[in-house]
Amino acid sequence: MKGSYRAFVMVGTIPGQDEEVAKKLLAFEEVLEVHFISGDYDLLVIVEISLHGKTIFTPVQEIAQFVVQKIRTVNGIRTTSTMLPLRSITKLE
């Protein structure tokens, strides 16, 4: 988690609009990957915010703003559930 902060947003779409929603989401600079998934939600979206020069709380606030003001205004989205990593460990750390 050196230079960026990731969050995982599960998205429920209005049936029949999945493909279009996925494309629109991927067009956002902050969206890295969109997965069509099995289970109660339809899409798993991986979002990344750069930490460069950020002050206290900024990354969490930016994720919040991004989800509320960008993702949730895309037509065809019915519901979202954001999973915020509280701490992350990876192979390389």
According to the binding rule CB under 8 A, does residue 30 interact with a second copy? no
* 3 is an interface residue for a second copy by CB under 8 A: no
Q: How far is the CB of 50 from a second copy (least distance, A)?
A: 13
DSSP state letter for 26: H
Contacts of 63 (CB under 8 A, 6+ apart): 5, 7, 47, 49, 82, 84
Return the residues of window 45-84 that contact a second copy according to CB under 8 A: 51, 54-61, 63-65, 67-69, 71-74, 77-84
Under the binding rule (CB under 8 A), the answer on residue 33 touching a second copy is yes
Which stretch of DSSP H or E encloses residue 64? Answer: helix 58-65
Question: In degrees rounded to 5, what are phi and psi of residue 26?
Answer: -65, -20
* Chain centre to alpha carbon of residue 6: 8
Residue ranges binding a second copy (CB under 8 A): 6, 8, 12, 15-16, 18-19, 22-23, 26, 31-40, 42, 44, 51, 54-61, 63-65, 67-69, 71-74, 77-91
